[in-house]
Amino acid sequence: PAFRRFQRSYYSAYLPALAADWLQGPYLYKLYHHYGFLEGQIAILYVCGLASNVLFGLVSWLFIDGLGRKKSCVLFALVYSLCCLIKLSRDYLTLAVGRVLGGLSTALLFTAFEAWYVEEHVGRHDFPGEWLDVTFTRAAFWNNVVAVAAGGAADFFAQGLGLGPVAPFMVSIPLLVLSGLFAVKNWEENYGKKRGFGKTCGQGLRCLLSDRRVLLLGTIQALFESVIYIFIFLWTPVLDPHGAPLGIIFSAFMAASALGSSLYGLAARRRCHLQPL
């Protein structure tokens, strides 16, 4: 029972944050196009967000360890809410700043919440380390469910209610506020160990260069992510002129992704002969 309560306290803040993030996926390109920006201008906005995510992702662990994991999660909710509010602006530079804030928020989302949970699970509550997989497997399942539902919800607010492509971003704000409030109310603060940035980066670089398999895996992952980001950018301008329901299509993408993950897990459990590196 104590472990279940602890899990629920984590999910109560983490799942609304994921929902807010997924809600913004289907209509981002559509919103910028609605504001009258050209494809090249929209591409620059996308690059601002991705570059911000990469840069902040490199140092986010250093930031959240010093500030505190709980405070970092609350900061995520505040910054991402501001990012959503900025979507109301039609000024290009303002929108670019919003994309930078979005990149920072995404970096915090995928580092601060997990870091907080791991420290609480092992350090404060002293639950078995093997139970971490239980929580994160369940979180991955609900992440897929939330992603599929978010596409339909975005379509409902933007098209069904006729509120336009900015609506999903505004709907995300209450979810972010809810996430931050749950963290403030239910979570204890924890901090990470102080680590030198240069030393840590040096260790990672040595590991990358000393093991050919790590370098190869990183290269494959980088190429795969590049293809995914190109697809993310192009699918809306390809399908939108045909009147396709963007939210429903987004849900279909997420359902297909969840199915692929499930099939891989099934194949791994049955010890199918997966090609090694």
pLDDT in tens, 176-208: 999 999 999 999 999 888 777 677 778 778 888
| 237-261 pLDDT tens trace | 999 999 999 999 999 999 999 998 8
- What's the pLDDT band for 274 if we cut at 50, 70, 90? low
Residue 59 has a pLDDT of: 83
Residue 171 has a pLDDT of: 97
Q: Which residues contact 153 (CB under 8 A, 6 or more apart)?
A: 23, 168, 171, 247
Residue 53 has a pLDDT of: 92
| 58-76 pLDDT tens trace | 888 888 988 899 999 999 9
Q: What's the CA gap between 249 and 26, in Å, rounded?
A: 8
| 31-40 pLDDT tens trace | 999 999 999 9
Residue 163 has a pLDDT of: 95
**pLDDT above 70 as % of the chain:** 97
Residue 269 has a pLDDT of: 74
Torsion, Cα of 91, 95, 97, 98 (10° steps) = 140
Structural domains in the chain plus CATH codes = 2-269 (1.20.1250.20)
Residue 272 has a pLDDT of: 61
Is the confidence at residue 84, as pLDDT, over 90? yes
Residue 202 has a pLDDT of: 80
- Tell me which amino acid residue 139 is: A
Q: What's the CA gap between 112 and 115, in Å, rounded?
A: 5
Q: Which residues contact 55 (CB under 8 A, 6 or more apart)?
A: 103
Q: What's the CA gap between 106 and 84, in Å, rounded?
A: 13
Q: What average pLDDT is seen over the chain? A: 91
Q: What is the mean pLDDT of residues 268-273?
A: 68
- What's the pLDDT band for 160 if we cut at 50, 70, 90? very high
* 41 touches 161 (CB < 8 A): no
State the number of CA atoms in the 13 A half-sphere of 273 facing the CB.
0
Residue 262 has a pLDDT of: 84
Residue 106 has a pLDDT of: 94
Residue 276 has a pLDDT of: 53
Sequence-ordered alpha helix ranges (H) in 126-274: 132-155, 167-186, 197-210, 212-239, 246-269
Q: Which residues contact 11 (CB under 8 A, 6 or more apart)?
A: 139, 142
Residue 275 has a pLDDT of: 57
